[in-house]
Amino acid sequence: MAIGKPRNNKRSSSTSYASTISTVVFIALCVLGVWILTSNSIMPPQTTTRGTTTTTTTNTNTYSSSADTRVAKSNDRKDPPAFEDNPGELPDDAIKSDDPHGDEKSQEEQKSEFEIQKYSDGESSTGAANEADGNTDKQETEQENGGGDGKNGEENSQGKESGEEQEQQKESESQVSEESTLTLNQQGVHTNENENRGTTQQGSENEETKQTGDEERNVIQEVEESKSQEGESHENAQESQHQILDEDEQQRLQQQQKEEEKGDTQRGDQNEETQHENQQHQEIQEVTNKETQQNEGTEQSQTATEEQESTHATEETNTQAENQETQQESQQNESRSGQEATQGTTTTEEKATESNSVDSLPTGENSGIPKESKESKKSWSTQADQSENQKERRKDGSDGKDGSIYGYTWQLCNVTAGTDYIPCLDNEKALRKLRSTKHYEHRERHCPEEGPTCLVPVPEGYKRPIEWPKSREKIWYHNVPHPKLAEVKGHQNWVKVTGEFLTFPGGGTQFIHGALHYIDFIQQSVPDITWGKHTRVVLDVGCGVASFGGYLFDRDVLTMSFAPKDEHEAQVQFALERGIPAISAVMGSQRLPFPSRVFDLVHCARCRVPWHAEGGALLLELNRILRPGGYFAWSATPVYQKLEEDVEIWKAMSSLTASMCWELVTIKKDKLNSVGAALYRKPKSNNCYDQRKHNHPPMCKSDDDPNAAWYVPLQSCLHRVPADEAERGSEWPEDWPRRLKTPPYWLNSSQMGIYGKPAPDDFATDYEHWKRVINKSYLNGLGISWSNVRNVMDMRAVYGGFAAALKDLKVWVMNVVNVDSPDTLPIIYERGLFGIYHDWCESFSTYPRTYDLLHADHLFSRVKKRCKLAPLIAEIDRIVRPGGKLIVRDESGAVGEVENLLKSMRWEVHLTFSKDQEGILSAQKSGWRPDSYAASS
């Protein structure tokens, strides 16, 4: 190569000094041998500090390049505008994410990720560490030795005893440094070169390669091959390297030694000549760099030997392989992030402050509440145990695919229901197999064998829902674009279309002039009802658009509203969009998913339910869930109209209620609305049952559990009222709001609570725990703007402590008790809250986009033992509104899996935190939807 030409010219001018050269060469070789045996190839110490600094820069540049690749990928995604809230102040020990897809990591994770990516070619951990610490070190040393020999020579000559021997030693050190650098670079630098091609680091790699020269590379390559084949030690490899130097190389060394022998008198000339040579090297390097960029993967010189050509071919092959591995590594970086979160061992997590970990972690010694006690399970029955017809559950605990966030190709649900898809109510395949619809079986739950993993599309023109309480009066038309109900019920003041809004005048069929007047009318009829004190939890049957429940909030009453998904399209969806609690359900052939004796009052305003039919089976179901001493408010035409059909229904209803021992307290007529209401009261004792002349309807058998409610057929029988004073239902709860904080009287201290303490103490501890977590962490530390939150679901409630701690916010909470968990739902109702039984291996009975926030405390680690996580995450995506939130508290492994699944659906992960194998995650749903539809089922 051209690099060798100046040196060859020097050798041609040195023939007159043959005898002197021979002597010098002999001395040089002796000194070199002694130095090799004693120095053990130690790098010159003067470049260590600079090399360390350069290594840090290199690592940063490499990660930036990888990050740029991920940013480029994310830019290719078709992401719609994000629904951002004010992020708020996150905990100091939390891992915050500024990336819209939650891909950024802490500095420690970045460094770890860089090291893994750089040395993923199979080198040993020791070799990888040495290369990372010393690779740039050697580059600095080579540049200084190759480009600054004159300066180093002056410094060495001033501090050494004899100029001749020390100059020889310096040259030997320079030679060994160059050879060692090249050897290490050839072993492990391929990945670095591919990641940083075209950067400043590539320039430094080209410079060191060109400065070495073709002849040196040839010799060093032979040494390297000799090392790999024979397994010689580093010291022997260096000795062999010098032994195989060819004659030209020895002459070059001799020539340099001769020129250095002239001493200080010729030092100035030598410096000028060295500088001139450096300039030539730099010019050659610039030209070569350009050629390398334009002809990547080709041979670098036509004069190289066959062995050099083979070496280049091998390097090209390795480069291509490393490129593929680098791409795979960059794609797996996000997966590694989830795995690192799963392990919970990052430096950031270990240095978390004690004060914040108390509020952020769900369990542990400092959390204020222990983990669930295994012994306590013996004291509590589950809904699955209580329900005789509990269907077989899936046992596959995997989360689908390969667990990678790139292992899922989400598609839109290709179903007739479109944007209003409810999997368990719109299962057309199951509905076609029904033998009868006499008892509204087609409106009941018929869930697919495995939950769908498609995503429900969003209506065109969807907007962020209007905040409460304005949402009670109006909602965006395009969020629930169903005008049919307005056309059919518009004259009854249910709902009207007003420009781009759907408006709700606050009326209904029975209260055209406003719900508040109607609510006050009922209390005036029976003053003992005392809304918001004696009567706190209400069930509204056939709720319409739920205006009754919506305005009961003004009286401090919580109402569970439900209606079937029928020809009155989207009535429950209207209710939820307005910010009013509601579920899609029907009184058909099965029990409602509620415990017995929990509702203070049941209301039916012209709900069209045939209460008197088939032995009063449906009214007997209301009797099961109505609290002893509770009221049934029936506002329907048979109460106040005298049409023949109405008269017949009234007679049948009167006979039925009397045989059930219900007391007809009063019949009142509302003159303003021209309607009437009959109010019945359930007995508080069994005296009436024992005195009946006819056993019709019959009393239920002793083995019929009134609390069994999950896929349990209706029973046309009466359950006895609890007679024991310590039994639930024998007494009325304390007035609201004292009942919220007071442990139920029937919680026995001898019974172990869920967390291992006596049940009343467990109740109090749970409440204090959630108050502390809500106030110190959730309200300010999770980036949630609570003014945008109205509809909340606690996906795994225990005592209802989470909902109780949110009492002072303008939100309502649907408490879900899992059918395989201890049956604590009666406790939740006893304290003035409400909830429902559910199995998260199935879809929930609500419309899409109906909740602002979902809270899951140790849910996923339990669910994945029974069914797959992917359908559950798809169900969460279906339920949550665009811009809505999810808070997860669970084992670190489960949190990591959930995080990966959420990211695959383009959710924005705002916070992840893990410590002591426990983690917390806060995420927000974006507006992203896939472009393609799933295959039609």
Token pair for 212: 């070495």
Work out the mean pLDDT of the chain and round it to a whole number: 74
CA distance 285 to 266: 28
**Picking from 302-306, 672-676, 782-786, which range would have the lowest pLDDT averaged per residue?**
302-306
Reported as a pLDDT band with limits 50, 70 and 90, residue 374 is: low
pTM of the model: 0.64
pLDDT at 330: 45
Does position 234 have pLDDT exceeding 50, yes or no?
Answer: no
- Closest residue by Cα to residue 921 from 674, 579, 894: 894
pLDDT at 168: 53
Residue with tokens 């007809």: 664
pLDDT at 388: 55
CA distance 235 to 212: 21
Mean pLDDT for the stretch of residues 453-471: 96
Reported as a pLDDT band with limits 50, 70 and 90, residue 570 is: confident
Mean pLDDT for the stretch of residues 297-321: 43
CA distance 928 to 919: 26
Backbone φ and ψ of 60, nearest 5°: -65, -45
Q: What is the pLDDT of residues 123-144, one digit of tens each?
A: 344 444 444 444 444 444 444 4
For residue 294, the tally of other CB atoms under 10 A from its CB is 8
Residue bearing the bigger pLDDT, 420 or 240 = 420
For residue 666, the tally of other CB atoms under 10 A from its CB is 12
**Picking from 47-56, 587-596, 885-894, which range would have the lowest pLDDT averaged per residue?**
47-56
To the nearest 10 degrees (0 to 180), the angle between helices 125-147 and 200-212 is 70
CA distance 123 to 188: 8
Does position 243 have pLDDT exceeding 70, yes or no?
Answer: no
Residues 724-759 as b/e (b if ≥16 CB within 10 A, e otherwise) read eeeebbbbebbebbebbebbbbbbeeeebbbbbbbb
Reported as a pLDDT band with limits 50, 70 and 90, residue 386 is: low
Does position 370 have pLDDT exceeding 90, yes or no?
Answer: no
**Picking from 90-99, 702-711, 868-877, which range would have the lowest pLDDT averaged per residue?**
90-99
CA distance 839 to 834: 17
pLDDT at 675: 93
Q: Which residues contact 315 (CB under 8 A, 6 or more apart)?
A: 190
CA distance 919 to 360: 8
Question: Any idea how long the chain is?
Answer: 937
CA distance 662 to 659: 8
CA distance 150 to 171: 11
Mean pLDDT for the stretch of residues 581-585: 96
Start-end of H helices in 428-470: 428-431
Q: What is the pLDDT of residues 388-400, one digit of tens each?
A: 544 343 334 334 3
Reported as a pLDDT band with limits 50, 70 and 90, residue 509 is: confident
- Closest residue by Cα to residue 58 from 130, 111, 122: 111
pLDDT at 27: 84
Q: What is the dihedral of CA 308, 309, 313, 319, to 10 degrees?
A: 50
Residue bearing the bigger pLDDT, 654 or 302 = 654
Reported as a pLDDT band with limits 50, 70 and 90, residue 569 is: confident
pLDDT at 198: 41
Q: What is the pLDDT of residues 786-807, one digit of tens each?
A: 999 999 999 999 999 999 999 9
Mean pLDDT for the stretch of residues 307-321: 45
pLDDT at 244: 42
CA distance 664 to 646: 18
Three-class secondary structure of residue 477 per DSSP: helix
pLDDT at 28: 83
Start-end of H helices in 626-756: 637-640, 644-659, 687-691, 738-741
Q: What is the pLDDT of residues 646-655, one digit of tens each?
A: 999 999 999 9
**Picking from 152-161, 325-334, 367-376, 837-846, which range would have the lowest pLDDT averaged per residue?**
152-161
pLDDT at 488: 81
Does position 838 have pLDDT exceeding 50, yes or no?
Answer: yes
Does position 513 have pLDDT exceeding 50, yes or no?
Answer: yes
**pLDDT cut 70: percent of the chain above it:** 59
Reported as a pLDDT band with limits 50, 70 and 90, residue 742 is: very high
Q: DSSP secondary structure string, 879-934?
A: HEEEEEEEEEEEEHHHHHHHHHHHHHTT-EEEEEEEETTEEEEEEE--S---SSBP
CB 801 within 8 A of CB 778: no
Reported as a pLDDT band with limits 50, 70 and 90, residue 515 is: very high
Among 181-195, 233-247, 887-901, the range of highest mean pLDDT: 887-901
Looking at residue 71, its amino acid is V
Backbone φ and ψ of 836, nearest 5°: -155, 150
**DSSP label at residue 265:** G
Q: What is the pLDDT of residues 3-59, one digit of tens each?
A: 444 444 444 444 445 667 778 888 888 888 777 776 544 444 443 333 333 333 333
Token pair for 777: 């962490």
pLDDT at 92: 40
pLDDT at 302: 42
Token pair for 904: 């695959």
Strand ranges for 514-635 from DSSP E:
537-541, 558-563, 582-584, 599-605, 626-635
Mean pLDDT for the stretch of residues 813-833: 97
For residue 509, the tally of other CB atoms under 10 A from its CB is 20
pLDDT at 630: 98
CB 44 within 8 A of CB 138: no
Backbone φ and ψ of 631, nearest 5°: -115, 150
